[in-house]
Amino acid sequence: MSPSTLPTLLSALLSQAEPAETGQPAEAEPPSLLSRLKVEGGVDTYYAYNFNRPADSANFIPGTGTTAKRHNEASINLASLGVSLAPAPVGFRVLLGLGTAMDVLHMAEPRGIAVGPEVWRLLQQASLNYATGKLTLEAGVYPSHIGLESLQSQLNWTYTRSWMGELSPYYQTGLKGTWKFNDTWSAQLHLLNGWQTIGENNHGKALGTQVAYAGSRLSAAFNTFIGEEGAEGSDGLRLFADGVATYKVTESLSLSATADVGTQDVPGSDNALWYAAGLNARVQLYHPVAVAARVEAYRDDNGLITGTEQTLTGGTLTVEVKPAEHLVLKLEARHDRSTADVFSGRDTTVDGSPVLKDSETLVALGAVAYF
């Protein structure tokens, strides 16, 4: 062996003995429990004035109004407190709340032994999750995969919710599987108790699906729901589809569009049909101030969803100010109209019930502080 080959051989032997020196990093330690733990919460308070001056002080139609439900009073829309643990690979999230939003949220819960609005009225979410590779599983009560809007006011462009948001699920109960194909495409499959219920009121179960795209400027999702709905004996198969798209036109201008269509078998009657569409725009005027606008239409052909055969239309204008990082103020004007008399008015009938009107104009000021 020549002296010139000795350094080469020694270098090769050392590289085999010390693989960390070859650029292959040592295996990273899993994140600590404390670093995965997060405490969250907030308070969403409001004052709303309804120009109908409803005798029962209730804004919107029965069963809706997860924001600004009460007329001419300062109130708590939603006070939340929760804790979550990021999955590694197992995690969870528990979020509790109280306020007028929570009362409306669980209004349709079926009543029975160990179920009903009074049992679950403080619960927003309680779910555990498991993540491995591209697959994430979640089980329990968790936010719905349907729609554009969140129950958390600071996450929405407007303060009050659209009719499509109010008349589709905010939460659902069951098992969700999410598969992330890459950085932009994902899919979900849900096995559910039903349409925004924790308790079950019939022997049927439901399936939900989602296909979603999340790009740098365009985000879109197509969501479905299929399952037996209604109380046992009056239940029928519900089919529902929902499309959502948001496009960032410029750094300051964003647009979104939503569309819904649903049908349900109704024993002894024609199939129920409902459909809706909405357009939203948001302009960031400068750093703390933004303006948002929404127009929408909701047609309930048979009155299955809203309780009355009608077409609801509405327009909303919102000014948003963020004076601090975790504080959002929203001043909003909203006008809604129906083809039927469904909104509470000032006058009352002989039994004390409000005389109903076909329109409603509302001004609301909401303030949300969160962490």
| Tokens representing residue 12 in the block | 């090769």
Tens digit of each residue's pLDDT (9 = 90 or more) over 57-90:
999 999 999 999 999 999 999 999 999 999 999 9
Q: How confident is the model at residue 8 (pLDDT cuts 50, 70, 90)?
A: very low
Question: Exposed, middle or buried: residue 52 (CB in 10 Å: 0-12, 13-18, 19+)?
Answer: buried
Report the pLDDT value the prediction gives residue 99, as an integer from 0 to 100. 97
Dihedral over Cα of 209, 213, 214, 217: its sign: negative
DSSP 1-26: --GGGHHHHHHHHHHHH-GGGGT-PP
How much is the average pLDDT of 299-320?
97
How much is the average pLDDT of 192-204?
90
Does the N-terminal peptide bond of residue 89 adopt cis geometry, omega within 30 degrees of 0?
yes
At 117 the three-state DSSP class reads helix
From the list 166, 128, 113, 148, the residue with the least C-alpha distance to 305 is 166
Task: Catalogue all structural domains in the chain, each as residue range(s) with its CATH number.
Answer: 35-370 (2.40.160.10)
